[in-house]
Amino acid sequence: MATILITGTNKGVGLELTKIYAARGDTVYAACRDPGSAEALAAIAGDVKVLSLIVGDSGSVDEMAVSLKDVVIDVVINNAGMKGPEFDQQNTYAMDFDGWAETFNVNSMGPVRVMQALLPNLKQSTNAKVVTITSQMGALSLDMAAAHAYCASKAAVNKFMRLASIDLKKDGVAVGLIHPGWVQTDMGGPQADLTPQESAEGIVAVVDRLSIASTGGFWKWNGETHDW
Ligand SMILES: NC(=O)c1ccc[n+]([C@@H]2O[C@H](COP(=O)([O-])OP(=O)(O)OC[C@H]3O[C@@H](n4cnc5c(N)ncnc54)[C@H](OP(=O)(O)O)[C@@H]3O)[C@@H](O)[C@H]2O)c1
């Protein structure tokens, strides 16, 4: 059985990931901004420990790491993310720069904060992994001219995690990036291709296959390699 920490678990893909790991008997540290209103999370059976965490706030991330001192963590899944300003305010002609900065803080820096704070925990595992739920929209190979701030934030986290995979190889920590597909969540909308459960089931299978041998990869939820 493994110990998994997941961010953004109160709804969407993060909630489904928590359900799957809990159902297979893993211990899940389920982080979200407001545990008090996370009813669906509280209803999950199994070894689920709900944590308060604001990934955009260094103080909050540090507090979380202190509370987990000496806990061996096998897998960190950076899932929390935001789409950023209204789309007519994040394009070539108009930009809500404060909104872009917030998006960058949450989507690009948040995963790095969480990873750095939990490195001592990960290094105690014999099968340590850090996975970030990114997006195809962060791929330089995809020319979809929409949500420029969101796209740039995901491209940034892709690059950082790719570099981290090189650095952390010697520490035995595998690093991976996963595009979850277009998913029926508050972010993806009801017309999206996949249910959160379908996406999360695929993500779990990709995480299971991630190892030091494959560290630094970018995959789709269905296991296919994603172009950078
Ligand atoms: N849905 C898609 O089609 C799709 C496609 C590609 C990539 N993704 C990525 O998949 C991941 C999960 O998204 P989802 O589809 O499950 O979306 P979702 O249902 O909207 O859930 C997003 C999660 O991120 C948290 N979050 C949002 N803004 C935050 C902030 N400012 N600070 C901290 N946490 C914040 C939310 O918490 P609150 O409820 O507290 O806001 C929630 O737990 C994200 O990284 C997203 O970029 C999704």
Tell me, yes or no, whether 119 lies in a domain: yes
Tell me, yes or no, whether 226 lies in a domain: no
CATH number, position 135 = 3.40.50.720
Confidence of residue 113 (pLDDT cuts 50, 70, 90): very high
Express as a percent the part of the chain with pLDDT over 90.
Answer: 100
Tell me, yes or no, whether 13 lies in a domain: yes
Tell me, yes or no, whether 167 lies in a domain: yes
Tell me, yes or no, whether 21 lies in a domain: yes
pLDDT in tens, 143-174: 999 999 999 999 999 999 999 999 999 999 99
Residue 185 Cα to chain centre, angstroms: 15
pLDDT in tens, 11-30: 999 999 999 999 999 999 99
Residue closest via CA to ligand 1's atom 28 equals 82
Number of domains into which the chain is organized: 1
How many angstroms separate the CA atoms of 105 and 95, rounded? 16
Q: Show the ligand 1 pocket: residues with CB < 6 angstroms.
A: 8, 10-14, 32-34, 54-56, 79-82, 106, 133, 135, 180, 182-183, 185-188, 192
Tell me, yes or no, whether 59 lies in a domain: yes
What's the whole-model pTM score?
Answer: 0.99
pLDDT in tens, 47-98: 999 999 999 999 999 999 999 999 999 999 999 999 999 999 999 999 999 9
- For residue 72, the model assigns a pLDDT of 98
Tell me, yes or no, whether 227 lies in a domain: no
Atom of ligand 1 nearest to the CA of 187: 20
What is the span of the domain harbouring residue 213? 3-220
Confidence of residue 222 (pLDDT cuts 50, 70, 90): very high
The Cα diameter of the chain in Å comes to 50
**What secondary structure does DSSP assign to 124-175, as a single string?**
T-SSEEEEEE--GGG-TT----S-HHHHHHHHHHHHHHHHHHHHGGGGTEEE
